[in-house]
């Protein structure tokens, strides 16, 4: 009985009939969403979410690790996302309702997996937006500093970074190290800034007032725009996208004249492992297209326009990322790019010294990162709304504002969930969480396509993934993947097979995600051969599976998953509306 309740599925026919009739899944809902988005708007939403911190910030660390070879990582990640995009597109054309991967998983794998992915999408949107808000704050305060406006450091950083840095500096002083000696070591620069901010901060009831105020304020502003309406969100997004695309093209055009091809050699200075070291930060830049599918009930023609918006935005952004990466690594040595603002850096005094471009980049970065925040703040409430309609969350989460036609309560809660932690949280803690949650969603959506091809082959699909029989191709691909892994990691492979040097269990457990991926690829090869599965979803599973296996920080994800399961079993399973059908 428990198994039946855990894996019960939403009726695909019911979902499709509701969408075709233009109704909401919850028949009791009194207010519907406004259908105003065109394919241009959807493409702009995708670009707004994808072209942000990736181009203006995290590309620097990725280039530092991979050199010019980072373009391969962008291409590989785009291909992996591309396979997933077409899977999303088929689902969106078949089930044009809000909820994104959560709704798709409910139709294909059942309620438990739907809850897990819905809970995981909170990491993709809400937790990921904490990173985006903090990144925006860094750029904004830097922009102010460029105009001679010094924002107090203790109001522009998280409390934990400031307090831990203060503790470390005080320990060094107590050990006999002088402040002059600490300042002379350039490696202590960031820690010293945090220490001084902590010391300068006023105290309230004995607690230092240290917080990232700009991160909180931009979250409040963006949440207000999203709350007021989809039309206002659309207009704001379109303006931001036009501005930042213009700036990116300007940077590419001007930077091309300063490219020195010798900077591209060696192409992969740290080998393939160095290229893949940036997978988390690069993939974080690509996840925005997923947000498009959350707006299905606000599209004029969702079954036609959602697939187009997803595909167009991914193609445009991939081209921009590759060109920016080539220009960036061609203008200066990759060894200098481990900075938070790489584009401004290469055009600054330590680069080619074109200061007016640096100023334009600083302004556009603030706009670009704000647009990412807007799209993700738009997506999260609509996922909560879909979960609430199904009874897995309280009814308040599906409340639609009678005037603004937005999920009002969910939007406010999203603002709180993002804004409050952004005041005090260190953004490095949550980047991997976002990438793992997103990749997990991609895996379920890609697998869901394969499931529905077998269980609902006659369902109407306005966009259909071209069928290519993976019977023989998939096993060959799996063999090539592992041959490539072996060749590119020869030292690890030799050590693995050296008797007495690395015990088998130790080798397997040290790379548990990769070991699980290895087993999974064998299972996929077998199923493809036996059931003649479709190749493109298989490619999505293989590529996204490899990316997720390269992310090492799984501890917080497992904790997050455990919390989600506790909530599901204590509330969601009991309140689920599918109980009414039992």
Residues 246-292: pLDDT tens digits? 888 888 888 888 888 888 888 888 877 777 776 666 666 666 777 77
Residues 186 and 219 in one domain: no
Lowest mean pLDDT, pick from 39-48, 126-135, 425-434, 447-456: 425-434
- Give the span between the Cα atoms of 501 and 450, in whole angstroms: 42
Q: Domain end: 392, 419, 451, which one?
A: 451
Residues 288 and 166 in one domain: no
Lowest mean pLDDT, pick from 12-26, 191-205, 410-424, 539-553: 12-26
Q: Is the pLDDT of residue 513 over 80?
A: no
Burial of 574 (0-12, 13-18, 19+ CB in 10 A): exposed
Q: Is the pLDDT of residue 159 over 90?
A: no
pLDDT at 17: 55
Residues 413 and 328 in one domain: yes
Q: What is the pLDDT of residues 382-400, one digit of tens each?
A: 888 888 888 888 888 888 8
Q: Is the pLDDT of residue 339 over 60?
A: yes
> What distances in angstroms separate CA 429 from CA 119, 121, 527, one per listed residue?
18, 17, 37
Residues 224 and 196 in one domain: no
Q: Is the pLDDT of residue 30 over 60?
A: no
Query: Confidence class of residue 217 from pLDDT cuts 50, 70 and 90?
Result: very high
Q: What is the dihedral of CA 73, 125, 292, 577, to 10 degrees?
A: 130
Residues 440 and 350 in one domain: yes
> What distances in angstroms separate CA 185 from CA 177, 178, 182, 189, 329, one per listed residue?
12, 11, 6, 7, 28
Residues 289 and 275 in one domain: yes
Residues 418 and 467 in one domain: no
Instruction: Provide the number of structural domains found in the chain.
Output: 3
pLDDT at 26: 40
pLDDT at 285: 65
- Asked if residue 402 is part of any domain, the answer here is yes
Q: Domain end: 396, 420, 451, which one?
A: 451
Residues 446 and 532 in one domain: no
Q: Is the pLDDT of residue 25 over 50?
A: no
Residues 130 and 260 in one domain: yes
- Asked if residue 21 is part of any domain, the answer here is no
Burial of 516 (0-12, 13-18, 19+ CB in 10 A): middle
Tell me the two tokens of residue 448.
């869901």
Residues 394 and 348 in one domain: yes
* Mean pLDDT over the full length of the chain: 79
- Asked if residue 547 is part of any domain, the answer here is yes
Cis peptide before 266 (omega within 30 of 0): yes
Q: Is the pLDDT of residue 193 over 90?
A: no
In sequence order, the 6+-apart residues with CB closer than 8 A to the CB of 461 are 90, 93, 94
Query: Confidence class of residue 566 from pLDDT cuts 50, 70 and 90?
Result: very high
Residues 192 and 290 in one domain: no
- Asked if residue 6 is part of any domain, the answer here is no
Give residue 467's domain range. 459-581
pLDDT at 484: 73
Let me know: does 518 contact 482? Beta carbons within 8 Å. Answer: yes
Query: Confidence class of residue 4 from pLDDT cuts 50, 70 and 90?
Result: low
């Amino acid at each position: 009985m428990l198994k039946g309740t855990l894996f019960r599925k939403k009726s695909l026919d019911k979902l499709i009939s509701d969408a075709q009739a233009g109704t909401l899944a919850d028949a009791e809902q009194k207010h519907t969403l406004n259908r105003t988005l065109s394919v241009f708007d959807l493409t702009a939403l995708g670009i707004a979410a994808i072209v942000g911190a990736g181009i203006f910030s995290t590309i620097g660390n990725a280039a530092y690790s991979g050199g010019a070879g980072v373009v391969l990582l962008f291409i590989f990640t785009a291909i992996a996302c591309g396979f997933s995009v077409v899977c999303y597109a088929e689902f969106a054309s078949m089930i044009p309702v809000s909820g994104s991967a959560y709704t798709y998983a409910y139709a294909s794998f059942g309620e438990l997996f739907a809850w897990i992915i819905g809970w995981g999408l909170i990491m993709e949107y809400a937790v990921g937006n904490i990173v985006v808000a903090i990144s925006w704050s860094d750029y904004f305060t830097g922009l102010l500093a460029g105009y001679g406006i010094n924002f107090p450091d203790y109001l522009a950083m998280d409390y934990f970074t400031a307090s831990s840095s203060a503790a470390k500096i005080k320990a060094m002083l107590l050990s006999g190290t002088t402040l002059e000696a600490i300042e002379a070591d350039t490696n202590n620069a960031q820690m010293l800034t945090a220490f001084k901010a902590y010391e300068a901060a006023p105290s309230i009831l004995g607690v230092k007032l240290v917080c990232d105020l700009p991160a909180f304020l931009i979250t409040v502003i963006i949440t207000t725009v999203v709350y007021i309406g989809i039309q206002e969100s659309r207009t704001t997004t379109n303006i931001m996208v036009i501005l930042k695309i213009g700036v990116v093209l300007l940077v590419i055009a001007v930077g091309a004249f300063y490219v020195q091809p010798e900077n591209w050699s060696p192409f992969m200075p740290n080998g393939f492992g160095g290229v893949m070291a940036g997978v988390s930060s690069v993939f974080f830049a690509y996840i925005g297209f997923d947000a498009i599918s959350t707006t299905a009930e606000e599209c004029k023609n969702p079954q036609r326009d959602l697939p187009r918006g997803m595909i167009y935005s991914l193609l445009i952004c991939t081209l921009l990322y590759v060109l920016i990466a080539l220009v960036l690594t061609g203008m200066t040595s990759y060894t200098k790019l481990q900075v938070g603002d790489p584009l401004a850096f290469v055009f600054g005094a330590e680069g080619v010294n074109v200061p007016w471009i640096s100023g334009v980049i600083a302004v556009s970065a603030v706009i670009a990162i704000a647009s990412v925040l807007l799209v993700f703040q738009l997506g999260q409430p609509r996922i909560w709304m879909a979960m609430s309609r199904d009874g897995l969350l309280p009814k308040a989460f599906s409340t639609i504002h009678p005037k603004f036609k937005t999920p009002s309560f969910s939007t406010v809660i999203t603002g709180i969930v993002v804004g409050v932690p952004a005041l005090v949280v260190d953004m490095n803690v949550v980047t991997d969480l976002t990438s793992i949650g997103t990749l997990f969603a991609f895996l379920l959506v890609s697998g869901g396509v394969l499931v529905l091809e077998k269980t609902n082959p006659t369902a109407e699909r306005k966009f259909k993934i071209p069928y290519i029989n993976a019977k023989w191709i998939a096993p060959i691909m799996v063999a090539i993947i592992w041959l490539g892994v072996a060749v590119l990691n020869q030292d690890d492979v030799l050590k693995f097979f050296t008797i007495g040097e690395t015990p088998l269990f130790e080798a397997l457990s040290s790379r548990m995600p990769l070991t699980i991926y290895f087993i999974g690829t064998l299972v996929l090869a077998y199923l493809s051969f036996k059931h003649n599965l479709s190749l493109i979803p298989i490619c999505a599973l293989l590529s996204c599976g490899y990316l997720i296996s390269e992310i090492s920080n799984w501890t917080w994800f497992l904790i997050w998953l455990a919390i989600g399961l506790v909530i599901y079993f204590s509330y969601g399973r009991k309140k689920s509306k599918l109980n009414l059908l039992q």
